[in-house]
Amino acid sequence: MIQRNSSSVPILYDVFWRCRAALASAGIFSAFVNLLMLTGPMFSIQIYDRVLASRSQETLFALILLACFLYTLLFLLETARAWLMTRVAARVQSGLDGRLFELVQSRAGAGDIGPLRDLEAVQRALGSPVALAAMDLPWAPIFLLAIFALHPFLGVMAIIGGTLLLVLSWAQGRLLNHSATEAARQTHCADLFAQQCVAADGAVRALGMGPGSLARWGTLRNCGLAASVALADGMALAGSAGRVLRLFLQSALLAAGAWLVMGGQISGGAMFAASILMGRALAPVEGLIAGWPSARRAIAGWSALADLLGREARPAVQHLLPAPCREVLVEGLTVTPPGATSPGLQGLSFQLPAGKVLGVVGPSGSGKSTLIRALSGVWTTSEGCIRFDGASFDQYSSAILGRALGYLPQTLRLFDGTIAENIARLDENPPPEAVRAAAHAAGLHELILSLPNGYDTPLSRGGASLSGGQVQRIGLARAFYGAPWLLLLDEPETGLDAEGQAALIRSIRIHKARGGSVVLSAHRMQILRDCDLILALDGGFCRAFGPREKVLTDLGTLSAGSSHRAKFIAGGAA
């Protein structure tokens, strides 16, 4: 049973609730820290009004010792508060990391890890000085009241100065928001283009695209740099204005205090204390101005996370069904690929019994890969449903269903790690016999043994040191790992030599003999000979479905040299 969250509050704020003890301690420490900040003003008053008046060395030494003790305590509390907030930030990130990673994986078609970056922005802000400045800000009125206690005129000046600094902070946020957004967008575009060039796997250099790609990347990079410089200029201007304004206000308060001292209305100690209190009252505001980029990014990230987690389904109670093992039922399936405006599949229905092999054929763009991705759960359905043993996707736990499926995508990417770890789907402690069985199923065992480190051979950059056929066979072994019930193979023969194709066909036959099912898209007749059923797609619609001989006969593909076969069967991947 799946319950949809109508609010992100239970998810997000539950993490902070688990940190309530640390947050409460940080709040208590903040109270004592701000109280201890009165040490400087009180010390000034005592020195000017008592020590200088009495010329008592004993009083001076006692005040120095007391100040040393209070400043040591302030140091310890400041450090402890910063350490606590750093750990709160880490616990918030670790508390949400798993959930967000699952959501990113479930939205794999979008290829967006933005939620993880949003969480990192929140974590950095919570552990930074800007969070401490925010905790100190509520205590600023206490320091303003202390200035009022020294003299009302000084208090009015302090309030006016604080208001000016707050207005400056507000104006900074309004004026620099656009620059910050533009800088982030331009930098993201440049980074995305660089990733595309790297992912081209050498094609940029081989095709002589280096100068053009460099020029385009340079243009994007310079636009991002210009936006970043404009943002930095604005931040420097606002930061300098804030610091100079605070210093000016302290000096102005000192001058006003001197005037009051000459009039006999306050003492010399009160004059210096007022200036120190003013600086302390405005310090949190200045800290927020300096840390505004970090705070702004964290606020935007928090808002995005609240929106994301509020919209996503969260399994509250889930019936633990056993792994499916009988049939696949597709009813009225319509799938719209991520980012597309029109469906890649429309109104598709069929049934695949256990122990059968379904071959999916059709020209390029017909919807073959769309179907494979929908069956694997990579892409969600727009209409209709997919049922395994009568139950829909959301009635199975992702772990159980994932182990029941063996998926080979059309575009294969390996992970940094050993060959064994890639075959074992990154399991922490995979059974060695299961890894070897999967390698045997893909006809890969002997090839692995010929490598210097065998199954422990490290792979990097998605298997850059291997040929395309070797990478494809590792992907096949990963699909076969754990003896899954349903194999979903998207053009599995791509890149395979004759030996690899023979091993693939042999593995499919063994899988079928033990009662497993297979859905594969193909454009070669050799692999279609082992299919029991054929599904012919064209333009996202089902053109034919049924036993292999009947469908191929209806399509006119059994005639030797048929041009229709070349067009329809060998039409390529969709």
**CATH number, domain at 148?**
1.20.1560.10
Q: Tell me if residue 387 falls in helix, strand or coil.
A: strand
Among residues 72, 145, 38, the alpha carbon closest in space to that of 46 is found at 38
Task: Using DSSP bridges, classify how beta strands 417-418 and 458-459 pair: parallel, antiparallel or unpaired.
Answer: antiparallel
Answer whether residue 518 shows pLDDT above 90. Answer: yes
Answer whether residue 571 shows pLDDT above 70. Answer: no
Which position has the higher pLDDT, 296 or 523?
A: 296
Considering only 16-25, 56-65, 90-99, 289-298, which range has the smallest mean pLDDT? 289-298
Share of the chain above pLDDT 90, in %: 13
Share of the chain above pLDDT 70, in %: 89
Q: Inter-axis angle of helices 292-311 and 114-126, to 10 degrees?
A: 130
Gap between the Cα atoms of 267 and 287, Å rounded: 31
Q: What's the pLDDT at 6? A: 42
Most confident region among 80-89, 423-432, 445-454, 495-504 by mean pLDDT: 80-89
Q: Do 270 and 359 fall within a single domain?
A: no
Cα angle vertex 276, ends 271, 279, to 5°? Answer: 130
Gap between the Cα atoms of 490 and 494, Å rounded: 9
Q: Which CATH number belongs to the domain containing residue 369 in this structure?
A: 3.40.50.300
φ, ψ dihedrals at 333, nearest 5°: -75, 125
Q: Do 221 and 311 fall within a single domain?
A: no
Q: Do 391 and 269 fall within a single domain?
A: no
Answer whether residue 205 shows pLDDT above 70. Answer: no
pTM over 0.75, yes/no: no
Gap between the Cα atoms of 26 and 510, Å rounded: 63
Outline where 263-327 has alpha helix (H): 268-290, 292-311
Torsion of CA 370, 376, 377, 379, to 10 degrees: -20
Gap between the Cα atoms of 81 and 28, Å rounded: 9
Residue finishing a domain among 242, 275, 290:
290
Indicate the DSSP class of residue 255.
H
Q: Do 464 and 353 fall within a single domain?
A: yes
Residues 121-169: pLDDT tens digits? 888 888 888 889 889 888 888 888 888 888 888 888 888 887 887 787 7
Residues 376-415: pLDDT tens digits? 888 888 898 999 988 888 788 777 888 889 898 887 888 8
Q: Do 506 and 368 fall within a single domain?
A: yes
Q: What's the pLDDT at 180? A: 75
Gap between the Cα atoms of 31 and 139, Å rounded: 8
347 token code pair = 């109104």
The CA–CA distances, whole Å, from 68 to 38, 63, 348, 397 equal 13, 9, 79, 61
pLDDT band at 561 (very low <50, low <70, confident <90, very high): very low
Gap between the Cα atoms of 344 and 365, Å rounded: 8
Considering only 74-78, 176-180, 328-332, 491-495, which range has the smallest mean pLDDT? 176-180
Look at residue 134 and tell me if it is in a domain. no
Domain containing 193 equals 139-290
Answer whether residue 316 shows pLDDT above 70. Answer: no
Q: Which residue type, as a one-letter code, is found at position 528?
A: L
Answer whether residue 417 shows pLDDT above 80. Answer: yes
CB under 8 Å to 95, separation ≥6 — which residues? 14, 15, 18
Query: How many CB atoms within 10 Å of residue 183?
Result: 22
Q: Do 100 and 209 fall within a single domain?
A: no
Considering only 96-100, 133-137, 506-510, which range has the smallest mean pLDDT? 96-100
Q: Do 428 and 545 fall within a single domain?
A: yes
Q: Do 29 and 64 fall within a single domain?
A: yes
Count of domains in the chain?
A: 3
